[in-house]
Structure 1
Amino acid sequence: MQVRGDAPARAAIVHTLPLFEMMRMRAATTARRHPTLGFAADDPGSRMRWVNQFTHTHRRLGPDDREVVSPNNDTVYSNAWLDLSQGPVLIDTPEMGDRYWTLGLLDAWTNPFAYIGRRTTGNRRQRTLVHAPGWRGEVPAGVSQVITAPGQDVWIIGRILVDDSPADLEQVRALQAQIAARRVDGSEAGMRVDTRLDGRSVTVPPASLYRAIVDEALARNPVPQGETLHWPLDADALAAELPNVFHLLREKQQPHALGGGWALALSVRTHWGQDVMTRARVARNFIGALGIDEAMYPTAEMDADGQPLHGSNAYELRFPPGAGPRVGAFWSLTMYRRSDCLFVANPINRYSIGDRTPGLRLEADGSLAIRLQADDPGPGCNWLPAPDGEPFYVVLRLYQPQAEHLEFRYSYPSLRRI
């Protein structure tokens, strides 16, 4: 799509939009209250929030949760925003046994630049020091790894695998309680910041607000190496082009086709490189995406005949013997209603199915067949309930995908109508 108007202004907004969206997410996901330091401000309407503090969800999401589209049903989340302007932050994590977990670190430009967790640093108890560029202090004893952040702002998105059993939920809750952010001297790392934003608003911001937020973020997070940003802009050009760019980025991005009706909406490893348009689209529509080495999310919206998936039909997804997803951790297939991209309430309270699903049955020849339909297919079937009479789509989540997936050599089976 070609957008008429001021081309330099348009290019500058596309370039800087990840900064704005990340600051919006900081406003949306940081806490007003600190467990020991109290509220960041007395006024309930204040935009003051706490950073350098972890917050956690303690259960898997279900059909009553509507805050996040296409949520996962495998893990609980841990969340923290680091402000490194006053010095490094130490991240303590506990012994995780053999459980899958990851803390993904994103810079202010949405580059998933580092990880702590099962794939990269293991499951032992560990302490990680995260610091801004230019820090030259002494690394404390007991630090397992040191991470240099590209700027002063870092978003940590954590995922910990959990079962729905009360005992496992309680165990994971205890693990989350041991994830902590501290200063190098062991003191409390919490800091108050004025986010200046309503993190719930996804509308086009006023030009003055956009410019103020970007100016502040740029001062703390330099333009990535190899990029040239032409900023600041004429105020009138900025105001005129913001709605155009936000409309442009709402257009659906052409996904990477994987075959069999499957496609990958985004593919990044540690850095978006020079592809600023894709980076902006992802920041607007899929912000928080981690690199494909950690997880891949192939999505299917069509059946084997190229027809949209619909709950009035029944489908089978069949993995041939020995040809299931190749993962180093686990995989799951999750069902979503197309109208709102959310889970679908169903009589067996099942929103995903995968290699960890209790009672999963293989065929006599060793193949794995999954039935996707609204009605119960009966005993002996691996059933993922679909919305009755409504369009849907599915996401195949691959945690620690192996080379066949990462090199796009895996043969994805089609969903066939039965």
Structure 2
Amino acid sequence: MRRRGVLLAAPVLLVAGLLGGCAPSASEPSAPDPVDVAADGYVYGAAPVTLARTRANMTCLLPVNQLYSQAQLSGPDSRTVVAPNVDTLYSIAWLDLRAGPVLLSHPDMGERYFGFQFLDIYTNVFANVGTRETGAAAGARLIVPPGFSGPPPPGVAVIESPTWDAWMIGRTLVESDADLPAAREVQQRYEMRVVGPPVSDAPPPLPPTDCGNNPAPQALAASGPEFFDELSAVLASNPPPPADRPLLDRIAALGVTPGGTPSAGELAAVTALESGMTLGESRIEAATQTGGAGWRTLPDAGRYGVDYLQRAVVARIGLGANVPEESAYSVTRTDADGEPLRGDRGYRLHFPAGGLPPVDPRGFWSVTLYGPDMFFVPNALQRYAIGDRTPGLVRNPDGSLDLWIGAAEPGAGRSNWLPAPAGEFVLMLRSYLPTAPSWTPPDPEPRPEG
């Protein structure tokens, strides 16, 4: 195999007058505010730095280019990636395609839902392999780095990654507790291996991990200007798409360049980066919280283009979200009146007859409860989601379905109860293989009995 070409890194273009100098004349455009530029850079970098930190933490335990299959469903101890599901067993691999192409294969999956999702380092989804996209029959895919060409093995389709580092998330549906051993068995038949020689002219790898001391993916702003050093490392290791160049040209004036160390730059630039982080963080937080009362959907998950704010929001509340045709996500922190959801109040989620989440017969749906940090909250019932595979769900006589969500067990009993902490919480409704991705769930209503 040989490379077709090398992507160019973003050029370093200084913005005249950005950090001082003569004032522009009346005929010249005013220089951009350095703090605003830094804020844009922080929003831009939030998703790739979050993913790079997640990779650093996970590769302390999982070597790159090796497939790891989770033997148990996620629970309160699962705190590496925000908003995990409890519907599927995860299979994870961090790809470093500098080592050469990687071959992924799976057995015939029958009627079991499965999917392998591929994200580039900027959190864009660039491929899906599985029930919807490629079917249940046994198959193999060759994942190659940017610019590679060459004949794949016979009968193997090629997936080209836009970046040299990529994340693969596999999901294998578990129908019930009794089905868990069978799901594990098929999961153990997934295979992944490097099949090509290393690439000699690849960009440098991401910095080595500092196991035990890696910064938390959920605490970007705590790192101060060093955050931009991390972003610069990502840019050097994974040249971004050409569409990002206008923004990258602007932040280059603050020293944020491929392989740079902007935190060690001129005082004025570092000060702007510090202030810009605060402003950028406020923009992400505001965008995360806004959306009005009730549910918020993620219609552009996985395909962000130059909508860096949306990309940052999804990385904050649902890192690894798939494209809408594979899985639709609706998230709410409030009830129909815009009040924060609290377990000590209690709610009913009422689905009218014929009004359940619309999914393909091969798909599934679930409502998952998280704390404000988007991780599970322990409860005595050890139930963290409720959905179409929950045993014993009771329908109303008219065919409608009520789910009861709160800290106290409802009068109707435990069958339809999703336990909540006494304080605030977040709900996420997932629809895998949705037939109407824009469908919106009913709003949580205060529990009728009080």
Q: Name the TM tier (shorter chain).
A: 0.7 to 0.9
Q: Report if the CA contact (8 A) 1:261-1:302 is conserved.
A: yes
Q: Report if the CA contact (8 A) 2:301-2:321 is conserved.
A: no
> Which position in structure 2 is the counterpart of 1:134?
147
Q: Deviations over 1:259-284 (max 9, x none)?
A: 972112x3325521121233234345
Q: Name the stretch that deviates more: 155-164 or 109-118.
A: 155-164
Q: Report if the CA contact (8 A) 1:82-1:154 is conserved.
A: yes
Aligned residues: 387
TM-score (norm 1): 0.81
Question: Which of 303, 306, 309 is the matching residue for 2:335?
Answer: 303
> Which position in structure 2 is the counterpart of 1:168?
179
Q: Report if the CA contact (8 A) 2:377-2:421 is conserved.
A: no
> Aligned partners of 2:409, 2:309: CA distance in 1, in Å?
44
> Which position in structure 2 is the counterpart of 1:412?
442
Q: Going by fraction, where is strand more abundant, 1 or 2?
A: 1
Tell me which amino acid in the other structure corresponds to 1:412.
P
Q: Report if the CA contact (8 A) 1:114-1:270 is conserved.
A: no
Matching of residue 277 in structure 1 with residue 309 in structure 2: yes
Matching of residue 52 in structure 1 with residue 100 in structure 2: no
> Which position in structure 1 is the counterpart of 2:270?
239
Matching of residue 27 in structure 1 with residue 81 in structure 2: no
> Which position in structure 1 is the counterpart of 2:240?
223
Unpaired runs of 5+ in structure 2?
A: 1-31, 199-204, 256-264
> Which position in structure 2 is the counterpart of 1:80?
93
Please identify the structure whose Cα radius of gyration is greater. Answer: 2
Q: Report if the CA contact (8 A) 2:82-2:317 is conserved.
A: no
Matching of residue 157 in structure 1 with residue 181 in structure 2: no
Question: 1:227 aligns to what SS in structure 2?
Answer: helix
Q: Report if the CA contact (8 A) 1:92-1:127 is conserved.
A: yes
How far 1:162 moved relative to its partner?
1.5
Matching of residue 353 in structure 1 with residue 382 in structure 2: no
Q: Deviations over 1:311-350 (max 9, x none)?
A: 2233221111111110121111122344x54434334322
> Which position in structure 2 is the counterpart of 1:116?
129
Tell me which amino acid in the other structure corresponds to 1:376.
E
Question: Which of 374, 389, 399 is the matching residue for 2:422?
Answer: 389
Q: Report if the CA contact (8 A) 2:353-2:399 is conserved.
A: yes
> Aligned partners of 1:9, 1:87: CA distance in 2, in Å?
36
How far 1:168 moved relative to its partner?
2.6
Q: Aligned ranges for residues 327-342 of structure 1 at < 5 Å?
A: 327-328=359-360, 329-338=363-372, 340-342=373-375
How far 1:134 moved relative to its partner?
1.9
Q: Going by fraction, where is helix more abundant, 1 or 2?
A: 2
Q: Report if the CA contact (8 A) 2:293-2:337 is conserved.
A: no
Change (3 A) 1:278 1:170: same
> Aligned partners of 2:371, 2:43: CA distance in 1, in Å?
30
Question: Which of 342, 345, 355 is the matching residue for 1:313?
Answer: 345
TM-score (norm 2): 0.76
Change (3 A) 1:157 1:256: farther
Q: Name the stretch that deviates more: 172-181 or 99-108.
A: 172-181
Change (3 A) 1:344 1:93: same
Q: Deviations over 1:193-236 (max 9, x none)?
A: 7534544433544646743x444433442221333121644323
Q: Report if the CA contact (8 A) 2:409-2:419 is conserved.
A: no
- The share of aligned pairs that are identical, in percent, is 37
